[in-house]
C-alpha cells in the first residue's frame, strides 16, 4: 500500500472517532459531548435575551405551516435555476461571436431549459403552491 492510502485511512478513522466523541450525549459536563438540557433546547432564541412571553408564562413555541417550507424550497430551486441561466446568457455575449457554429444548438438548449422552467412554474400555480 502506498503511503498516501495509509495516511487517508488513518485520517478518516481519526475524524470518525473524533466526531463520535464530540457528538456523544452525556449528562456529565466535564466529559466530551453535549450536556442534555431539554429546557434550553425547547425555548425560543431571541438574541440571547429572555423572551417576553416566558416571563409572563405563555407558551412561546409557535407552529409553522408546511406552506412556508415549500415556498422556501421553491425559492431556492428558482434561485439555482437563475444561476444556471447566467452562464448561458454570457455565451451569447461573445464580442466576436466565436461560437458561430454552435449558437443555434445553444439557443435551442436554452429555450428547452426555459420551457421546462416555465412548465414547473405553471404546475406550482396550478397546484396552488404559490
Provide the number of structural domains found in the chain: 2
Residues in the chain, total = 130
Whether the Cβ atoms of residue 88 and residue 113 lie closer than 8 Å to each other: yes
Residue tagged 449528562 (cell numbers): 27
The pLDDT > 70 percentage for the chain reads 58
Confidence of residue 12 (pLDDT cuts 50, 70, 90): very high
Return the bridge partners of 46, or none.
49
Residues 6+ apart with CB under 8 A from 61: 42, 44
Residues 118 and 72 in one domain: yes
29 or 117: which carries more pLDDT confidence?
117
42 or 30: which carries more pLDDT confidence?
42
pLDDT one-digit tens code per residue, 21-36: 777 655 555 555 555 5
Residues 119 and 73 in one domain: yes
Q: What is the full DSSP assignment across 40-78?
A: HHHS--BTTBPPHHHHHT--------HHHHHHHHHHHHH
pLDDT of residue 61: 58
| Least-confidence region, from 16-20, 69-73, 87-91, 110-114 | 87-91
Residues 9 and 35 in one domain: yes
51 or 128: which carries more pLDDT confidence?
128
Which residues span the domain enclosing 103? 66-126
The reply to whether the predicted model has a pTM over 0.75 is no
Residues 52 and 71 in one domain: no
pLDDT one-digit tens code per residue, 62-101: 666 777 788 888 888 888 888 888 777 777 666 655 555 6
127 or 63: which carries more pLDDT confidence?
127
In a domain, 61, yes or no: no
Amino acid at each position: 500500500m502506498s503511503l498516501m492510502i495509509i495516511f487517508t485511512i488513518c485520517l478518516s478513522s481519526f475524524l470518525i472517532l473524533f466526531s463520535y466523541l464530540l457528538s456523544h450525549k452525556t449528562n456529565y459536563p466535564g466529559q466530551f459531548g453535549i450536556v442534555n438540557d431539554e429546557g434550553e433546547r425547547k425555548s425560543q432564541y431571541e438574541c440571547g435575551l429572555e423572551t417576553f412571553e416566558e416571563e409572563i408564562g405563555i407558551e412561546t413555541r409557535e407552529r409553522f405551516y408546511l406552506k412556508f417550507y415549500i415556498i422556501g424550497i421553491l425559492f431556492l430551486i428558482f434561485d439555482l435555476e437563475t444561476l444556471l441561466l447566467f452562464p448561458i446568457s454570457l455565451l451569447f455575449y461573445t464580442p466576436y461571436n466565436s461560437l458561430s457554429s454552435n449558437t443555434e444548438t445553444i439557443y435551442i438548449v436554452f429555450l428547452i431549459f426555459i420551457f421546462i422552467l416555465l412548465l414547473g412554474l405553471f404546475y406550482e400555480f396550478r397546484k396552488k403552491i404559490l
